[in-house]
Structure 1
Amino acid sequence: MTSQYTLQHRIQNLEEATCHEERLYKILDVFMDFYPVTNAYLFRYSPLGFLGEGIISLSSAGMVHIGDIRDDIRSLPIISSAINEKKAKYCSGIEYLKQTSSKYITSSGVNSLVVVPICYRSVIIGYICSNEFVREAAIDEKLLSSLTLYGKEVGKFFEKFDNVEDPQNLSKRELEVMRRIAWGESIKEMADSMQISELTVKQYVKTAIKKLGVQNRSHAIGELFRRGIIT
């Protein structure tokens, strides 16, 4: 079991990554190095529609883009539970079959899943899943607590890069509004929190969509994720 200090030190080293995609790769690489898993899937999460979207997976075979995986996490109890409670969760055997879908059964030997939510402040922005483990690995409460900590430390790591802004595109306020949309906040919640009118919030959304050259707010959020401007 790794100490919190060692874990934080390794995550700080992720800052050496030169681009957004390399950071994502290293997050899974460190995860597999520290914990008794032999694969890892990274997903982004949006409470707007309860949507989990695949980003990349890592295994001994290398890195694979998994953008074709999209799930309403309400149909996956193990993932929904991890997100709602902000804690790493594990299931195996018959519970694995009950709490996942067939797309997560990648081979006949797979019958377990661990889910680690990535916490950005009080918001869940993504999660890591693993369904292949080191032989005789013990997934106990101590390990789950450490996995929960990993998700929180990754969230803190993302926070350092969350002020990335393309000066040729969105203003600071436009970027803040789009980020809050990604978190699932309503127009009214944003207006109250930012102390501006709902009309002003809608105007920020409209101008952000226009500047990004997209069709709607969902497309805009996806584009900002793709560019690494929000995480």
Structure 2
Amino acid sequence: MSNDSEPAPAGRAVIVTGAGTGIGRATAQRFADEGASVLAVGRTGTTLAQTARDRPAIHPLVADVTDPDGPARVVDAALAVFGRIDVLVNNAAITRPAPLGQIDRADTAAQLATNLVGPVFLAQQALPHLVASSGLIVNVTSVQPFRGWPNNSVYGATKVALDFITRTWAVELAERGVRVVSVAPGVTHTPVLAHAGLSPEQIAEAGEQLRRRIPLGRLAQPEEIAWWIVRTARPEAGYLTGAVIQVDGGINVA
């Protein structure tokens, strides 16, 4: 039986982290275009302003979910603006590629804090309000556990861990009316590698190497990933929980 009482994205209050660029920006804009009110969270005010441009339903918030008070700031801001929380999209992530033997401790701590610990404590802070709204948590993940990913052991481990968290929370929260889903993008055109310090030449080379492995023969656009994230908030998705939705151009089955 479908859950006809679950609202469509229109009228819903949504938090999207990492909303200044890439998948986060596309997701915030897609939700807004479908009638949701969105708190766009990120570390840089200028990029958040670009996300919100010409979309009054998007409310930028400069905040860092890795700060001890970051999750409370985000949730308090959402409640102050919207009075409720229906959807939390844990999208913020960083990568610092390095092979074993060259892994930096500070870079590792930053990846763990942003990609894994931050989402845990933001979801925990938002949980009472998600229960009140029979809400949804979407964790944006990536690599699958049965494939190695050279130079990305720490980053990949955080994403695999987040998929495990998705499955566990789905079981824990089902009886409280909260659904939990992972959307796992494949290689996508975003600034994440530039933010990691790679040169344009290195990024182009890595993209070409990956493109040759992707059955569909191209990288994804952020808007293609955002479409799937927003679809999980539709009433037609009301029976979906604990799933990892791979949107990867076929790379994980190639």
Q: Taking structure 2 as the reference length, what is the TM-score of the superposition?
A: 0.24
Q: Which has the larger radius of gyration?
A: 1
Q: Greater helix share, 1 or 2?
A: 1
**Larger RCO, structure (CA 8 Å, separation 6 or more):** 2
What is the TM-score of this pair, normalised by structure 1? 0.25
Structure showing the higher strand proportion among its residues: 1
